[in-house]
Structure 1
Amino acid sequence: MSRTSDDIRKHLKVRRQKQRAILAMRWRCAQGGLEFEQLDTFYGAIRPYLCVAQFFGIMPLSNIRSRDPQDVKFKVRSIGLAVTGLFLLLGGIKTLVGANILFTAGLNAKNMVGLVFLIVGMVNWLNFVGFARSWSHIMLPWSSVDILMLFPPYKRGKRSLRSKVNVLALSVAVLAVAQRFQQFAARVAALEGRHVPEALWYDIRRDHIRLCELASLVEASMSNIVFVSCANNVYVICNQALAIFTKLRHPINYVYFWYSLIFLLARTSLVFMTASKIHDASLLPLRSLYLVPSDGWNQEVQRFADQLTSEFVGLSGYRLFCLTRKSLFGVLATLVTYELMLL
């Protein structure tokens, strides 16, 4: 009996030592130490692309070389914002000159595509400046969620964020948030078939609230970018559909026309399918909750289930539309209806 109790004490001692080591690591990471730079965080994955974006006047941030995300801030008096202002000035001049030429020659649905392209580019630049202004408000909770979910009881993803960014750099924010929700779902799935105390369900529900708050911050900061991007894609596709029955002079014109139309449809579908990963991943824990036995169902499980089903988690365009798989099919159905009306 004494030997068994000694083994239990040793096991608890080793467990406490591991917990202390994890807490110490989290504390050093929270201070922006060397360990934080080595972790698979969103900031570590996006930082190389932030450096490249400075040359194009996008995301004008200061101190982007710092390994501490709290040092990266938006400053009015900075080289990045000066480059952005230069691009906006040159783009504004080009837009005004193009608009003057079009209004002089006569504006119609076919020749205004170039003007719309320039205006959308200017608006997107301003949207990214607004996103840069809210960067510091997003990165602090994002980094805290990264530190929370890179240590037990959460399991790390099979693919790192940096490898996913290399596959699809423009969707890094979506992939990063979706991966955290997938890690959360994996933790809940690991509890299937086990007796889970109510206190643990409370901790899980609290972590889910943190994830939802992070997703809400990202959605609020990117809703204008999502709205302009989707509106521009739908407009260009509709403009292309106007000329779908127009006779062209050379075969190469037909090749270019169909290539551009298919490319636009594929790009729009890719935006919706990638952005829908957040919403799909947020619903994954529901399957595990449905498998909870009746004797293990408690008030915290009920609250967690209501939390999953009553709140939408994902990206949207000013809440006018949500980027989900159903929305994609709705957009495609609208485009087909529009084309049938042109026949």
Structure 2
Amino acid sequence: MDLFVIVLSIAMSERYKQLNMLLKSVEGRAMPISFWKKVRETYNELSRLTKTLDDLISPIVLLSFANNLYFICLQLLNSLKPMNSIWHAIYFVYSFSYLVLRMTAVSLYAAAIYEQSKATKSVLFSVPSDNYCIEVSRMILQIASDELLLTGCRFFSVTRTLILTVAGTIVTYEIVLVQFNAVNADIKRNRTLVCM
């Protein structure tokens, strides 16, 4: 599931990257209106493709993030139990690192679609004033107003800031677990003292 999202995200972001490389190659040069019209139409096609892709795979994206978050939280819960051997500790570190790496990879590759779709703006803003036309203006307006990214059934948008949000959620969960574990340890200790 994660690999499916990553592969589709790479394919989509590479298409935007190709368009950005074409625009970088003509940056600052005078180009005819027909060129800008073709570029805008290509961007429109990529925009429609991105929205269709999001409509089709947004349940998979939601399931992927929920699955990864669940298993990370489960690993954190299991980390509070005493580890009996060095092999148990090595397994925990390996499996937790693998889960975090997997979730980070899905987030970064899916966020690359958004990053690449917005990278075109810098080139369009540098179009010479004597070459500025209605096609460039329409494309700037479209890039500024469209949110071309993957979502999890419209519950969340996959951007780079999502990684920080998820990390904050995981840290909060771990703090709550540690506090809850400390309270349980105090209660058990007090019961033991009362019995003695």
**TM-score bracket, shorter-length normalisation:** 0.7 to 0.9
The residue type equivalent to 1:304 in the other structure is: M
Is 2:101 the partner of 1:276? no
Structure 2 residue aligned with 1:316: 151
Residue of structure 1 aligned with 2:26, choices 191, 205, 214: 191
1:237 correspondence with 2:64: no
TM-score normalised according to structure 1 size: 0.49
Aligned to 1:340: 175
Query: Structure 2 matches for 1:22-41, cutoff 5 A?
Result: none
After TM superposition, the structure 1 = structure 2 runs for residues 83-232 of structure 1, keeping only pairs within 5 Å, are 171-232=6-67
- Say whether 1:249 aligns with 2:66: no
Instruction: Tell me the amino acid that sits aligned with residue 246 of structure 1.
Output: K
State the Cα distance separating 1:209 from its structure 2 match.
0.4
Report how far residue 172 of structure 1 moved: 2.5
Normalised by the size of structure 2, how large is the TM-score? Answer: 0.83
Question: Do 2:33 and 2:135's aligned partners in 1 also have CA atoms closer than 8 Å?
Answer: yes
Residue by residue over 1:90-131, the C-alpha shift from the partner in whole angstroms, topping out at 9 and shown as x without a partner, is: xxxxxxxxxxxxxxxxxxxxxxxxxxxxxxxxxx7xxxxxxx
Query: Could you tell me how far 1:341 is from its partner in structure 2?
Result: 2.2
Unaligned runs of 5+ in 1: 1-123, 125-167
1:317-336 Cα offsets, whole Å, 9 max, x none, are: 11111222111111111111
Aligned to 2:183: none
Distance of aligned partners of 1:216 and 1:170 in 2 relative to their CA distance in 1, 3 Å threshold: closer
> Post-superposition, which runs of at least 4 consecutive aligned residues in structure 1 deviate over 6 A?
none
Q: State the percentage of identical aligned residues.
A: 33
Letter in 1 for 2:74: N
Shift of 1:170: 6.4
2:194 aligns to what?
Answer: none
Say what the alpha-carbon RMSD is for the aligned residues. 1.8
More helix by share: 2
Deviation at 1:299, TM superposition (A): 2.3
Any unmatched runs of 5+ in structure 2? Answer: 179-196
Write the letter of the residue equivalent to 2:25. A
Q: Is the 8 A contact 2:150 2:157 kept in 1?
A: yes
Assess, with a 3 A threshold, how the Cα gap between structure 1 residues 182 and 194 changes in structure 2: closer, same or farther.
same
Shift of the alpha carbon at 1:199?
3.2
Matched-pair contact (CA < 8 Å) for 2:5–2:110: no
AA partner of residue 199 (structure 1): S
**Partners of 2:59 and 2:152 within 8 A in 1:** yes
C-alpha separation in 1, matches of 2:147 and 2:13: 14
Structure 2 Cα separation of the partners of residues 327 and 171 of structure 1: 16
- The residue number in structure 1 matching 2:124 is 289
Report the secondary structure of 2:154's partner residue. Answer: coil
**1:284-312 superposed Cα distances (whole Å, 9 cap, x missing partner):** 21111121123332322121111112111
- Give the AA of the match of 1:311: D
Q: In the aligned structure 1, how far is the partner of 2:5 from the partner of 2:175?
A: 33
Greater relative contact order structure (CA < 8 Å, 6+ sep): 2
